[in-house]
């Protein structure tokens, strides 16, 4: 299974498995982290997991099986210690324990992702950065940050259904995921309670789903439903069929999208959970018969997350005519360099995943160290556009805090790089309102950083930005 597709066999395209990854020439900026540089076509097919003490003896059949992956999912520091043993220092585990105590998301990571972390240099590793919070790297939240920064609960006519845009809505059928990302925008609802947050409860009950279906059917202008995180991977085959058939059966609904992080964290499921993939394929085929559009939306943030397993999984989906788009989150130290973002976009395109969006990191609690200033997104967009096919070029957007929806990063009405304040408007979503976004304080000059510590100065900086937006 693992090397079954000759087109994607490394022998046919690039150096054989286990060879050193060849460096690619740097674009215009030196890379900011010390990952091995890989050409976008060079996908790992070595037995990389054998470097992790607990997986040393796992065969490729075991490591390639989704049930084995699920059984070995790590959800506590104790388990992580047992898995990694002496591969990392005691100081690292202590840093992690303290980080988790201050984090909005519980710990949950698949063996596959864990084994892709470079454990000889975990501090700077882009996968470690996304899933394992370290106290030594956390920063104070921005003073303007609010819980549920996107205001999803305010735009929810039914618990777990966000209807913000005229013709599309977001349905959260259940609250769990195959992993928990540190930076989850829905940390208010997704995952287990943590020391920091008691979650809103969105259980997968028939009553709540029926309420959501009834609402969707009652809104003739709704055409497009996103079935989102919690994760489609955590819905059973039967649930996928129920949701798919119910939605496609409504005359107003023309498009549905199943959102899953799964392709990134557990591509093995696509290769070995046939009942699940058949259910998804069935809904896609039903959509085709009804002349409706059913696609999968996924979430990769770094080229290291894409391996031979991913290519094989996407190969299987392509054979079945399942289209996949990717929504990436821009993160400091993960993908905020030109090299990293360009490589990710090319590698996604290579395995038939269409890069759709790159989101500026939302203002969510506990992850200030991952946020980037708006100008970084603007710069990356200029460099990525033109690097490959236009239909594989993502839109760089900011989901405006307060419920303004997604706005192109180049369309701020005002952007003051000194205060880090930008002002957006969203005439088709919430006409007449202004939406503010704030660059991380640590990205500002020291004089401006000091001004942000004073409430009166804050107010003056914000009033000034709003007045300029009116001018």
Ligand X SMILES: *Cc1c(COP(=O)(O)O)cnc(C)c1O
Least separation in angstroms between residue 232's CB and ligand X is 15
Of 226 and 387, the one with the shorter C-beta distance to ligand X is: 226
Of 87 and 433, the one with the shorter C-beta distance to ligand X is: 433
168 contacts which partner out of ligand X, ligand SF4, none, CB within 5 to 8 A by kind? ligand X
How many of the chain's residues bind ligand X (CB under 6 A)? Answer: 8
Least separation in angstroms between residue 85's CB and ligand X is 41
Helical ranges in 274-411 per DSSP H: 274-289, 308-319, 338-350, 374-384
Q: Are 182 and 105 in contact (CB under 8 A)?
A: yes
Footprint of ligand SF4 on 219-238 (CB under 6 A): 229, 231
384 contacts which partner out of ligand SF4, ligand X, none, CB within 5 to 8 A by kind? none
Of 248 and 348, the one with the shorter C-beta distance to ligand SF4 is: 348
**Burial readout 176-198 (b: 16 or more C-beta within 10 A, e: otherwise):** bbbbbbbbbbbbbbbbeebeebe
Cα separation, 465 vs 451, in Å, equals 15
Residue spans of beta strands (DSSP E) within 105-152: none
186 contacts which partner out of ligand X, ligand SF4, none, CB within 5 to 8 A by kind? ligand SF4
Footprint of ligand SF4 on 185-214 (CB under 6 A): 186, 190
180 contacts which partner out of ligand X, ligand SF4, none, CB within 5 to 8 A by kind? ligand SF4
Of 96 and 398, the one with the shorter C-beta distance to ligand X is: 398
- The DSSP secondary structure of 174-221, one letter per residue, reads -S--SS--TT-TTTTTSSS--SS-PPPP----HHHHHHHHHHHHT-TT
Footprint of ligand X on 247-306 (CB under 6 A): none
> Which residue in 184, 197, 243, 377 binds ligand SF4 (CB under 6 A)?
184
> Which residue in 102, 135, 153, 168 binds ligand X (CB under 6 A)?
168
Footprint of ligand X on 9-48 (CB under 6 A): none
92 contacts which partner out of ligand X, ligand SF4, none, CB within 5 to 8 A by kind? none
Q: Partners of 399 in the beta sheet?
A: 406
- List all residues 6 or more positions away from 285 whose beta carbon is below 8 Å from its beta carbon: 321
Q: C-alpha 351: how far from its chain's center?
A: 18
Q: Is 269 an interacting residue with respect to ligand SF4 (CB under 6 A)?
A: no
Using CA atoms of 261, 265, 266, 270 in order, give the dihedral in degrees to the nearest 10.
40
User: 331: how many CB neighbours lie within 10 A of its CB?
Assistant: 25
- The DSSP secondary structure of 399-455, one letter per residue, reads EETTTTEEEEGGG-SEEETTTTEEEEE-TTTSTT-EEEEE--GGGS-HHHHHHHTSH
Q: Report the SS3 class of residue 467.
A: helix
In 3D, which of 281, 269, 282, 193 has the Cα closest to residue 231? 269
Footprint of ligand X on 209-238 (CB under 6 A): 226
> Which residue in 164, 182, 239, 354 binds ligand X (CB under 6 A)?
164
Cα separation, 30 vs 454, in Å, equals 36
296 contacts which partner out of ligand SF4, ligand X, none, CB within 5 to 8 A by kind? none
Please report, for residues 320, 377, 378, 406, the alpha-carbon distance to residue 410 in angstroms, rounded to integers and kept in the order given: 37, 9, 6, 12
229 contacts which partner out of ligand SF4, ligand X, none, CB within 5 to 8 A by kind? ligand SF4
CA atoms within 13 A on the CB side of 257: 21
Q: Is 406 an interacting residue with respect to ligand X (CB under 6 A)?
A: yes
Q: Which stretch binds ligand SF4 (CB under 6 A): 36-44, 184-192, 287-295, 331-339?
A: 184-192
Of 99 and 404, the one with the shorter C-beta distance to ligand X is: 404
Of 263 and 280, the one with the shorter C-beta distance to ligand SF4 is: 263
Q: Is 199 an interacting residue with respect to ligand X (CB under 6 A)?
A: no
> Which residue in 169, 177, 330, 370 binds ligand SF4 (CB under 6 A)?
177
Q: Which residues make up the interface to ligand SF4 (CB under 6 A)? A: 177, 180-181, 184, 186, 190, 229, 231, 261
């Amino acid at each position: 299974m693992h090397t079954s597709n000759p087109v994607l066999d490394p022998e046919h395209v690039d150096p054989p498995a286990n060879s050193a990854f060849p460096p690619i020439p740097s674009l215009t900026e030196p890379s900011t982290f010390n990952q091995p540089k890989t050409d976008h076509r060079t996908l790992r097919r070595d037995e990389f997991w054998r470097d992790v003490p607990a997986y040393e003896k796992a065969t490729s059949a075991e490591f390639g099986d989704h049930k084995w992956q699920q059984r070995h999912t790590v959800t506590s520091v104790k388990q992580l210690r047992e898995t990694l043993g002496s591969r990392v220092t005691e100081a690292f585990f202590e840093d992690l324990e303290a980080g988790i105590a201050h984090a909005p998301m519980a710990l949950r990571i698949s063996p596959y992702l864990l084994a892709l972390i470079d454990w000889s240099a975990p501090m700077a590793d882009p996968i470690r950065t996304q899933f394992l919070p370290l106290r030594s790297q956390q920063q104070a939240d921005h003073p303007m940050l609010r819980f549920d920064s996107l205001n999803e609960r305010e735009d929810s006519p039914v618990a777990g259904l966000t209807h913000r845009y005229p013709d599309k809505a977001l349905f959260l059928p259940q609250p769990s995921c195959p992993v928990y990302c540190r930076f989850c925008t829905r940390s208010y609802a997704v995952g287990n309670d943590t020391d920091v947050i008691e979650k809103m409860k969105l259980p997968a009950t028939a009553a709540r789903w029926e309420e959501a279906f009834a609402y969707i059917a009652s809104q003739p202008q709704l055409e497009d439903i996103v079935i989102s995180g919690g994760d489609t991977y955590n819905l059973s085959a039967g649930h996928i069929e129920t949701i798919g058939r119910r939605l496609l059966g409504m005359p107003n609904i023309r498009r549905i999208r199943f959102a899953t992080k799964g392709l990134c964290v557990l591509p093995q499921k696509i290769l070995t959970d046939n009942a699940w993939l058949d259910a998804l394929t069935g809904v896609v085929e039903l959509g085709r018969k009804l002349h409706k559009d059913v696609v999968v939306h996924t979430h990769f943030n770094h080229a290291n997350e894409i391996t031979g397993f991913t290519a094989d999984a996407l190969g299987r989906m392509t054979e079945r005519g399942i289209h996949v788009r990717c929504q990436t989150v821009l993160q400091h130290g993960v993908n905020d360099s030109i090299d990293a973002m360009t490589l990710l976009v090319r590698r996604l395109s290579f395995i038939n995943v269409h890069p759709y969006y790159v989101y500026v990191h939302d203002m969510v609690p506990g992850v200030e160290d991952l946020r980037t200033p708006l100008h970084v997104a603007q710069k990356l967009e200029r460099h990525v556009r033109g690097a490959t096919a236009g239909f594989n070029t993502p839109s760089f957007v900011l989901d405006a805090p307060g419920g303004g929806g997604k706005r192109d990063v180049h369309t701020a009405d005002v952007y003051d790089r000194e205060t880090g304040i930008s002002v957006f408007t969203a005439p088709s979503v919430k006409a007449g309102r202004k939406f503010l976004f704030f660059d991380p304080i640590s990205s500002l000059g020291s004089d401006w950083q000091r001004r942000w510590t004073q409430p009166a100065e804050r107010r003056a900086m914000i009033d000034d930005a709003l007045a300029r937006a009116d001018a």
